[in-house]
Chains A and B, each alone.
Chain A
Amino acid sequence: MTLLEVDRLTVRFRGLTAVDGVSLAVAEGEFVAIIGPNGAGKTTLFNVIAGSLRPSAGEIRFAGRPVAGLGAARMSQLGVGRTFQVARPFGSLTVRENVRLAAGRHYLANPLAAWGRRGRDREVEARVAHLLAVTGLVGLADRRAADLNMGGLRRLEIARALALEPRLLLLDEPAAGLGVDGIRPLAELIRSLRSQHLTVLLVEHHVGFALSLCDRVVVLDQGKKIFEGTPEAVRRDERVITAYLGESGAGEGAMSGGD
């Protein structure tokens, strides 16, 4: 079943067309990666799907219903969890509170109904404890999120998104800013999500990392979709190689390196 359907989506910013008529579909349980050189429109497309940007044209359907322009909070309540490229923790709250807020998202939908006390819902607390364990944050649970290092912030981003119990998980360059020794455990964490049959849409600049994880890959270049297919096929595709080489001489390295 198709969970997410993006139909001829276009986003223009004052004459610049960041996303140009892109269509793609993500089936339930699938892991799709969106890659592309800098300025390809990946993050813009991502933000439109997450609800924080309104498309200029085109439609997005989530679980069959049109959702374009609903706003980030509604998308989250509908079951779309996202991470941020540059981590956005609730810095003054503890790591546990960060995850707890997401885990209790149904308490938060409406300020008039958010007057119950936190920490009382066993189901929510169990999920928080489970996610802290899965993401390796137990030891840091009572630290202020602002005090985490880069690796900790990345894991918190993922823990918080998972705590929403999303039907669709959107990962925005989760490997950004991580060194090689940070990427490996992260890849393992993300791979473990696959085994839980979570539907994932990953936007990634780090091509090797993305290809090692996904079932299917979509390549964007200058706002247009130039390729869609398996990770094996993309490495041999002429247009994709040209797009990356055209960006810089390091393109070929980007295509083959990583993990």
Chain B
Amino acid sequence: MTYFLVVGVTVAVFAILALSLNIIAGYAGQPHLGQAAFFGLGAYTAAILSTRYGVSFWLDLPAALIVAGLVGVILGVISLRLARDFLAITTIGINFVMVAIFQYVPFFGGAMGIPAIPSPAIAGHEFGYRDFFVTAVVLVIMVAALSAYLERTWFGAALKAIKDDEQAAAAVGIQVASYKIAAFVLGTALAGLAGGFYAHFMSVVTPNGFGFPVSVSILSMLVFGGLGTIRGALAGAVLLGIMPEVFRFISNYRLLVYGFLLLFMVRFQPQGIVGEDSWLVHQIGRLAGSLRTGGARRDTAGG
């Protein structure tokens, strides 16, 4: 049981990360290849606050969110003016620099990281695996609900407009730069939240837990599931998160498999498996349609 809960919590954390990246890369269309840096920033924030200042889990989470978001503002302002391909490279750079800072600045505990992060507690009862799992699922639901709301707002539509065409977006009065920064801040802050939670769950943070390969994993999940959709982010995190557990022989080559899947999807099914207009969604739609009407409407459909 413990094993399933541990896998479940890890999948949930990656689901939050995929949803957070989806705001930046999915809705706003900005290629961000360094999301693990902000995941790490949140984790280190929680680790430092709890081990050195005795701050509780419940305050660590918002703190991790805010710190990652603030750094997101600064780095966003600097880098989002770049064209998309340069932005991709810059965000990779951000990831490597962040890991180097965690590793070489003594404040962050060096290569050994920060150990002995306390478990959260409610009314004296220390968190068990089940509590972590429930909390993680609640966080996923909250972030998914936020994303769903976002899609219905003017903000969400503005991001999609920017993704489609920046010049046309400006022509309808959208300040493209400020919207990109806002999306970046929101996405990086949520990655920080995931990090804060993850630090307490793992009870130790180390620099290489937040390296570029983690960013690639998050991106692979999102693209595999379906860039720009909530269900895509969730499906990608669940499927790619569970896959190495089910097929044990994969786990040593996990990154290789993720990278291969990323290339494969971009080449053959850029919508992802359950994204907008994907092959699978069409098939399910057709199946559902024919079940509902017994195929009777097939002749009249298509208008």
Contact = CB atoms under 8 A, between A and B. Distances in A.
A73 B176 contact: yes
Interface of B: 149, 152-155, 157-158, 160-161, 163-165, 167-176, 178-179, 181-182, 276
Contact of B157 (A73, A97, A112): A97
Given A76-B173, A117-B153, A118-B154, A90 B178 contact: no
A91 B160 CA distance: 9
Contacts of B160: 90, 92-93
**Most interface-central of B152, B154, B168, B276 (chain A CB within 10 A):** B154
A114 B149 CA distance: 12
Interface of A: 50, 52, 71-74, 76-77, 81-82, 84, 88-93, 97, 100-102, 104-112, 114-119, 160-161, 164
A161 B171 CA distance: 8
Contacts of A89: 164-165, 168
Given A72-B167, A90-B164, 9 more contacts: A72-B171, A73-B176, A84-B167, A88-B167, A90-B165, A91-B164, A109-B175, A115-B154, A117-B153
A100 B158 CA distance: 11
Given A111-B182, A114-B155, A92 B163 contact: yes
B171 A116 contact: no
Given A73-B173, A77-B173, A105-B173, A93 B167 contact: no
A116 B153 contact: yes
Contacts of B149: 117
Contact of B173 (A84, A88, A97, A164): A164
A115 B149 CA distance: 9
A93 B157 contact: yes
A90 B168 contact: yes
A117 B154 CA distance: 6
B156 to A, nearest CB: 8
A89 B167 CA distance: 10
